[in-house]
Amino acid sequence: MNNDKEHQFELLVRQHKRTIYTVCYMFSHDKAEIDDLFQEILIRLWNGFDHYEGRSTAQTWIYRVALNTAINQDKKERRRIETVPLTVDIDPYEADDPSTHQIRELYDRISRLDLIDRSLILLWLEGISYDEIGAIIGITPNNVGVRLMRIKEKLVKMSNNE
C-alpha cells in the first residue's frame, strides 16, 4: 500500500520536476540552496500527499506547496536535513552557454521583484489562468490582473534604468 503511494508520488514528482526546479531556482541564490529547497519541497509534498484530494490540478497544488515552502523557508531548520544532491548537469548560476545566459537574465530581472511579485510573474509565465493564480496566492482574479500590470510596469522601469 505504502509502496503504491510512493510510486504514485514518484510519478507525480517526475512529471512536475521542472515546475519545482523553476520555483527553487527563482527563490535561491546558489546551487546548494536549490538542492536544499528542492528537498524540502519534496518532503512537504510527500507530507501533504495524503491530503491532496484532487480538487485543484496537480500543477496548482504543486505550485502552491512549492511557493509556500520557498516563501516560508526556514533556512536554519532546513540545514538540519541531510541534503541529497539533484541530478542536474547545468549550473544556471555559473554556466556560460547562450541559453543559460538567457535564463540568468530572466533570473536577474525576476529576482529584483519582491517575493509575491516573483511568485505572480512566475505563475503568469507558466501560462496559469488568473483564477488559478488567485487560488494559489489567495487573492481575487481581478487583483491578480492589477498586480500583474504593476509588475510589468516595474519590469519596464527596471529595464529602462539599466
Partner 1 sequence: MKGIIMENQENNMSELDQLKAQYETLKQQFDQQEIVNDRLIKSATQTDVDFFAKYRKTALIAYPILAVLGFAYYAYLGQWAFAISFFLLLAVMIVVEMWLTRNTRRQVMENADLLTLSKNMQKLKTGYAIYTTLILIAGLMFVTAVTLNKIVSLRLYGPQIKEAIWSLGFAMVLMLGFAILAYRSFVGHCNNVLRQIDAMNSDHPVRNNRPFWCFLCAVTLLCTISGLLFYNAIDSVVYTRADNDLSSEGKLGIWEIYADTNVFEKDVALCMEQWQQGDSIVLMTGKSGMVTKDIEETTGLSCNEGKGQLVKLYALKETTSEGPVISSAVLDGKPIIKRIEHGPYRNRKPERLGVFVNMTPEASQLWLDFTQKAEESEAPCRAALCLDGMVYQEWAVVGAISTGAFFVTSIWTKDEVEAFCKRLIKQ
Query: How deeply is 79 buried, as exposed, middle or buried, from its count of CB atoms within 10 A (0-12, 13-18, 19+)?
Result: exposed
Told to check if 88 binds partner 1 by CB under 8 A, we report yes
Indicate whether 28 belongs to the interface with partner 1 (CB under 8 A): no
d(CA 158, CA 45) in angstroms, rounded, equals 35
136 interacts with partner 1 by CB under 8 A = yes
Helix (H) or strand (E) run with residue 143 in it: helix 141-161
Q: Tell me how far, at minimum, the Cβ of 143 lies from partner 1, in Å.
A: 8
Quick one: which of 111, 115, 131, 145 contacts partner 1 (CB under 8 A)? Answer: 115
Can you read off the three cell numbers belonging to residue 48? 501533504
C-beta of residue 136 within 8 angstroms of C-beta of residue 123: yes
Q: What are phi and psi of 111, to 5 degrees?
A: -70, -15
Task: Figure out which of the listed residues 37, 67, 128, 144 binds partner 1, where binding follows CB under 8 A.
Answer: 67
Q: What string of DSSP letters covers 100-112?
A: HHHHHHHHHHHTT
Does residue 29 interact with partner 1 by CB under 8 A?
Answer: no
Q: Which residues bind partner 1 (CB under 8 A)?
A: 6, 9-10, 13-14, 17-18, 21-22, 25, 38-40, 42-48, 51-52, 56, 61, 64-65, 67-68, 71-74, 77-78, 80-82, 84, 86-90, 92, 99-100, 102-103, 105-106, 109, 114-117, 119, 121, 125-126, 135-139, 152-153, 155-156, 159-160
